[in-house]
């Protein structure tokens, strides 16, 4: 019985490792942003992050008013 469970676990792990992106999609993760960012340079990703951070800070400050 233990050997059967072991075999089942190995098979399951191999299928997850075969296509991690599909596994993430199946889990419910929207990978489109990750795919979009993969094509950007480090500088462009940092700029976009800074814009988002600045926007979040402005919204936080506006909430206090």
**pTM assigned to the model:** 0.53
End-to-end CA distance of the chain: 65
Give the Cβ contact number of residue 48 at 10 Å. 13
Exposed, middle or buried by CB within 10 Å (0-12, 13-18, 19+), for 16?
Answer: middle
Q: What is the pLDDT of residues 1-53, one digit of tens each?
A: 555 555 545 555 554 467 888 899 999 999 998 888 899 999 999 999 999 99
**What per-residue confidence (pLDDT) applies to 35?**
87
Residue pair 55/47 in contact by the 8 Å Cβ criterion:
no
């Amino acid at each position: 019985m233990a050997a059967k469970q072991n075999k089942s676990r190995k098979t399951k792990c191999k299928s997850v490792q075969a296509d991690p992106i599909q596994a993430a999609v199946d889990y419910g993760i929207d990978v489109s942003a990750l795919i979009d960012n993969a094509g950007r340079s480090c500088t462009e990703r940092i700029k976009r992050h800074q814009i988002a951070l600045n926007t979040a800070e402005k919204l936080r400050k506006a909430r206090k008013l």
